[in-house]
Structure 1
Amino acid sequence: MPYSTLAYSAATNAGHKRENNEDTFLSLPERGLWLVADGMGGHDAGEVASAIVRDTLLDERNKNLTQAIQSSHRAVLEAAARGKGAPGMGSTIVALHSEGDEYEVAWVGDSRAYLWTHTDDGGRLERLTTDHSYVQMLLASGAIGEDEVERHPDKNIITQCLGSHELQNVKVDSVRGQWQRDQWILLCSDGLTDELDDEDLARLLYRSRHPRAAVNKLMRAALDAGGRDNITLQLVQSPLNRRSRWTTLWQWVPHITGKRGPDLTLYGAALLSLALVLYWVAR
């Protein structure tokens, strides 16, 4: 069966506490490729590292996702050796490649991917990635429990990143899956997940009918919750979802109740009222 170009939406924000944004993202629906990269290193070096990662994957069109990410690791190391950026700069990455009804997610670091399936009974959120972090190692060893992970003081210490000079090669983890209807994949930096837990994400995704509306809600909620770090996210919709003219129109309708019928009625009434006012003024 033919598959349409995937609908998606993306946003990035420096947050309330940081002067610069070291995150970056790449959206290439024509190639079925999306990524989020979270740079680190300070003094602008983090944004140099994440930009190198982004540009490397943009150029490495003939390599698979894992190979392209390995190439970006070497590119960051080589740039630092040439004096570009700063020694010790690095970046995380989480990337999605979609082809037909199949997808692959690959990552290094603690940027995450989630699979959201919309259902009438509240939806289902599944984390596709496992953080490369110190706290995740503690959890895997049994030293801490699930309930301790999110509030652990060392939760942001990662065990590997692209550009780490201790590693000749990074360990790129990946998962593959098959798209179903009414699914989205969320890619995000830890600036989002530090502010919103999985329950928050699921609630906001359930209240949204289009990736654009969901991205706006998630970003607003993360900023309202503190916005202590750079925040970047992308939402990509299953190619099995049919995109009609009504679906395209729906993304521009303000979501007041979260239900299509009432929201279209309210929006239509508002437009009609505005038209009547303008007509009255113009008379």
Structure 2
Amino acid sequence: MVNLTWKSAGVTDVGLKRKDNQDNFYISEDERCLVVCDGVGGETGGALASRLAVETVETLWLSEKPTLSDPEAVEAWMRRAVAEANTSVKQAADASDDKKTMGTTIVMAVFGEEGLLHIAHAGDSRTTLVRDGKADVLTIDHSVVMEMHLRGQLTLDQCAVNPYRNLITRCLGHEENVEVDYSTKQLQDKDWIILCTDGLSEVVKPDELGPTVANHTVPKEACDELLKMVLDRNAPDNVTIIAVEYKEVEAQVPTTADSK
């Protein structure tokens, strides 16, 4: 018999060029629900938008957690959570005189039963799987340059240096309804999951991220090293990272003596 376990940690930092941190993140107490948001639309507006989105998901998780053994129920819950977060941000924007353009990206991961990871996102915040030291980005950025790449107009290397690389095509708070991408991934022993804002992904590329994370066994230490890499490279943006180490552990079968 195998038990499934995971440990997580998160870190956020203003970086070295910004005045305020517009990122927010959430890790539920049971570490099954993880959220990262990157606010847009001005310093105070972006920070408010990301905070409202995170708080909305947290409130729904605490009040109406989905049946984790039912993948369809988890998907429905995640879509609802993103929709409610979108409404929260848009209502606040509409009611404000100086934050009309505020919005936020969102990437959310939920650990279901039997090692099934559920992912939902809108914007360019990412979920990345690190397996055997190799990083595989599980989300597709909703950005102008990624759309150009998917049409065959830009290579990924060209996307990385394109002046329009920070223009996103989806976020919460700008429309009544937001389209959300949903997917699942079956996890294996010793997998790592990294959720992050573009403050990390713009600076530390997948071919560096994979080996760096794989060198660790403690999520907080993995977060700290990734953050240090960003800061050492002048940290042009806010950066937020959640790292999760996933393990399969053999359950101990009680002996006759133990059961007495």
Same fold, judged at TM 0.5 (above): yes
Q: 1:53 to 1:162 in 2, by over 3 A?
A: same
Unaligned runs of 5+ in 1: 244-283
Larger radius of gyration: 1
Partner residue, 1:58? 58
Structure with greater strand percent: 2
Measure how far apart 1:99 and its partner are.
1.8
Pairs within 5 Å for 1:128-167: 128-164=138-174, 167=175
Partners of 2:146 and 2:82 in 1: CA distance: 22
Partners of 1:21 and 1:2 in 2: CA distance: 41
Measure how far apart 1:146 and its partner are.
2.7
Structure 2 residue 75 is matched with structure 1 residue 67: no
Partners of 1:28 and 1:2 in 2: CA distance: 24
Partners of 1:240 and 1:205 in 2: CA distance: 18
Quote the RMSD (CA, aligned, Å): 1.9
Measure how far apart 1:190 and its partner are.
0.3
2:92 to 79, 85, 101: 79
Partners of 1:214 and 1:200 in 2: CA distance: 13
Pairs within 5 Å for 1:243-258: none
Partners of 1:70 and 1:138 in 2: CA distance: 27
Partner residue, 1:263? none
How many residues align? The count is 237
Partner residue, 1:235? 243
Alpha carbons 1:14, 1:21 under 8 Å: kept:
yes
Partner residue, 2:111? 98
Partner residue, 1:218? 226
Alpha carbons 2:2, 2:249 under 8 Å: kept:
no
User: 1:218-258: per-residue Cα shift (whole Å, max 9, x none)?
Assistant: 00001101101000000112252579xxxxxxxxxxxxxxx
Partner residue, 1:188? 196
Q: TM-score of the superposition, structure 2-length normalised? A: 0.86
Q: 1:242 to 1:114 in 2, by over 3 A?
A: farther
What is the DSSP-based 3-state SS (H/G/I as helix, E as strand, rest coil) of the residue aligned with 1:238? strand
Alpha carbons 1:102, 1:178 under 8 Å: kept:
yes
Matched AA of 1:154:
Y
Q: TM-score of the superposition, structure 1-length normalised? A: 0.79
**Higher RCO (CA-CA < 8 Å; seq separation 6+):** 2
Alpha carbons 1:6, 1:29 under 8 Å: kept:
no
Aligned sequence identity (%)? 30
What is the DSSP-based 3-state SS (H/G/I as helix, E as strand, rest coil) of the residue aligned with 1:44? helix
